[in-house]
Amino acid sequence: MIHMDLKRAHVERPAMLAILMGGLGHDVLDAAKKGENELVMELSNRLRYMADRMQGCAMTEGDKATLRQALLAAERTVRTAEDILKDKLRGQRLGDRNRPAYRRTESVRPMPGGRS
């Protein structure tokens, strides 16, 4: 996993920031494939933070283009990771339907507020 030091990766170095975002995107996908929901959310929030931090900074056109590409790639990565997690959840639900009733209740957690 990439540990970011955002204070060093100022917008003065947009290529470095783009590389960090790319590495973080790979970490998001790896976490999604492993089914680590909390880690996916944390890394997605870091990517969003980086994107928000870059908005409104004075840069050359080339730097803006580099960062724009990195932002688009990060957005696609987060969407893909969310789709992977949704597919895993859907697969678990379908798998539960095929289990006998006495085993189904083991994997179902009660919903807060009543029904399970």
pLDDT for residue 74 is more than 80: yes
pTM, rounded to two decimals: 0.60
What pLDDT score was predicted for residue 1?
A: 46
DSSP 55: T
Q: Looking at the domain assignment, is residue 4 inside a domain? A: no
Report the C-alpha gap between 83 and 52 in whole angstroms: 23
| Residue numbers of the domain that contains 49 | 14-107
Task: List all residues 6 or more positions away from 11 whose beta carbon is below 8 Å from its beta carbon.
Answer: 17, 53, 54, 57, 59, 63, 67
Q: Looking at the domain assignment, is residue 9 inside a domain? A: no
Domains in the chain, number = 1
CA 10 to chain centre: 22
DSSP 10: -
User: pLDDT per residue over 81-114, tens digit each?
Assistant: 888 888 887 777 776 667 666 665 555 555 555 5
Alpha helices in the chain (DSSP H): 14-34, 37-54, 61-97, 101-107
Q: Looking at the domain assignment, is residue 1 inside a domain? A: no
Q: Looking at the domain assignment, is residue 20 inside a domain? A: yes
Q: How many other CB atoms are there within 10 angstroms of residue 81's CB atom? A: 23
Q: Looking at the domain assignment, is residue 112 inside a domain? A: no
